[in-house]
Amino acid sequence: MFNWHNKSMDKARVLLADDHAVVRAGIRNALDGVPDLEVVGEVGDGITLIEALEQLHPNCLLIDVTMPDFEPIATIRRIRARYPDLCILVVSAYDDDVYVQGLLSAGVNGYHLKDQSLNDLRLAVVRVLSGERWISSPLLDKLLTSRRLTAQLPRLSSRQRGILRLLVEGYDNRAMAQELNLSVKTIENHLTRLYRQLDVPHRLAAANFVREHPELLAHSGEESFDDVLEIEPPINRQTTILVVDDNKRYRSQLRRLLGRVCPQAMIYEAGNTEEALHFARQVVPWIVFVDVVLADEDGIVCARRLKSELPASRIIMISAYPDREFHRRGLQAGATAFLDKKDLDASALRQIVEDAVA
């Protein structure tokens, strides 16, 4: 780690990365009064950032990770691996705690909110250059609360999650029994145990609880890792994946295959745009698979709305009926790729996940 207090060394060299010139100018002005510090360059996109890192050899990178041509988690990991002593301070307007935790785990040294005072920004830079970690105070409570609530949530079986999903979708007990091929009495017993585990009095409260804690419906990839892949070893990286398809059977099939490829993934399922947007805002998935046709909805419109919510996420359009026009519109909507469902085997999924988490 760069020792900023070692006076025998030259000034700390800072690189600014933000796609708004006005923001960069404001940060540069704020840092003018910090002794032993020099802003050596400014960039506005991911491509020029990589070039600047190689040419300027900064000690500290101040970056807004929503720049064009920049995949936050994957690129931060690559930068951290290539420049292990570089101090990385994210300066962002985005305060989602899951998003922040993802960047911290990828290797950034601090996360500063743009709406905080310039004095706090100067202090943040000094702290990370001194080898400390910085998190803006408004984020601390959210991060601590998120971890505390996650730790308190009960661990549910796959069957229990299936019942909860149907409950949230408005199924009554008889409809649940028919859907899951169980008796009504078995459904009632499951619900009684679920209410006790969630500490809620009735089904409406349970539905509200699940909407507030969508992680209850996530499937761990390890649950699907029930056989040995014949291609390569599984990807042992943590990531969050969302599958958006109105065909429940296909969603389950794709989720199981993804779990075999990446056992450490947390995998969510949505059957329509509304559900997909709910998960996007709550869990910030890094990879999203979206079917072109979602019952009576347009999957490409869904992809466009997801991309506006998740500018840094990788969206993959999928279809059982590949079409050039669908392909063109899907890429225009922000999708990274457009794939035929019949080509989504373990090898193809492995490549998609590796590209996203590399």
Q: Which of these, 283, 328, 331, lies nearest to 309 by C-alpha position?
A: 283
Per-residue model confidence as pLDDT tens digits over 152-208: 678 788 788 889 888 888 888 999 999 888 888 889 988 988 998 888 888 888 888
Fold agreement between 154-216 and 218-357: no
Burial 62-101 (b: 16+ CB within 10 A, else e): bbbbebeebbbbbbbbebeeebeebbbbbbbebebbbbbb
Task: Give Rg (Cα) of the chain.
Answer: 23
Q: What are the residue boundaries of the structural domains of the chain, listed by start?
A: 12-147, 154-216, 218-357
CATH architecture of 218-357: 3-Layer(aba) Sandwich (3.40)
244 close to 305: Cβ distance less than 8 angstroms: no
Closest residue by Cα to residue 123 from 138, 136, 140: 136
> Would you say 85 and 104 are in contact if contact means Cβ atoms under 8 Å apart?
no
For residue 298, give Cα distances in angstroms to 94, 272, 277.
28, 10, 14
Domain covering 12-147 in this structure, CATH number:
3.40.50.2300
Q: H helices within the chain, ranges in order?
A: 21-31, 46-56, 72-82, 97-106, 118-129, 137-152, 158-168, 173-180, 184-198, 203-212, 248-261, 273-283, 299-309, 324-332, 346-357
Rounded distance, CA 63 to CA 77, Å? 14
Model pLDDT for residues 216-263, shown as the tens digit of each residue = 887 665 565 444 344 456 666 678 899 999 998 898 889 888 988 888
Query: How would you classify the pairing of strands 60-63 and 12-17?
Result: parallel
Percent of all residues in the chain with a pLDDT value above 70, rounded to a whole number = 87
Domain made up of 154-216: CATH architecture: Orthogonal Bundle (1.10)
pLDDT digits (tens, 9 = 90+) for 296-336: 889 999 999 998 888 878 999 999 877 788 888 888 989 98
Dihedral sign for Cα 148, 262, 328, 295, please.
Answer: negative
